Structure 1
């Protein structure tokens, strides 16, 4: 009789529906919360019935937690070190690139200055040639007209 009352209580209060929510079973939050609750209860029962004493179990758990914390700290230090190395590599590459850019700009600047200087000399030569031609033409005109 107790079993029947218990089963009746469970089926009426737990709202079991068979076959209607089959597709939504895995996405149901009730299923997930039941799964988590079951896992926690299983863990608690496992700790309670473990062959070690509570003190030994706590010591073992504390040791495992400490080991995990040490490993995590080591991984954090490794990650920081790797990040610093990568930052230094990037700084070096940026510095090298900027040095190359500055060198190229200086080179282009020097080429422009050299071309400007060459053009200045050519212009001066042309001006001198023009002045000589003009003086020669004036001398010829003076000779033709016998001026001066």
Structure 2
């Protein structure tokens, strides 16, 4: 194990200490190791951009921003073949949250999410990708005829 020295501002240290207390960590090192692993896992994506996946894009935005709702709808329409469903929630008078479920290749899903979250006025955006293995055509036909366990 290596010792690493970092400098953090007081507010961030307070947040780390609160996290430690709420989770029962005995040291900052333990907490920071877990937080670092979690952050690296969040940034990791499947290596093969052609692999099939499902994805969820969560984003918040100010619907009063000029033309933003129209631009977001245009992104959705441009990628209609990937979109499974979208849920729209009004958080307050101006702010909305949407969750869009997608299915397609990792590369296409990432591209869609990047377009959504890069729109001016989108305040927060996060993509979660779940790689899936689709059954072969023969297995799908067998499943339809005999059921899932034959």
**TM range, smaller chain:** under 0.3
Q: Determine which structure has more spread, i.e. the larger CA radius of gyration.
A: 1
Instruction: Give me the TM-score of the superposition, normalised by structure 1.
Output: 0.23
- Return the structure number with greater relative CO, CA threshold 8 A, min gap 6: 2
More helix by share: 1
More strand by share: 2
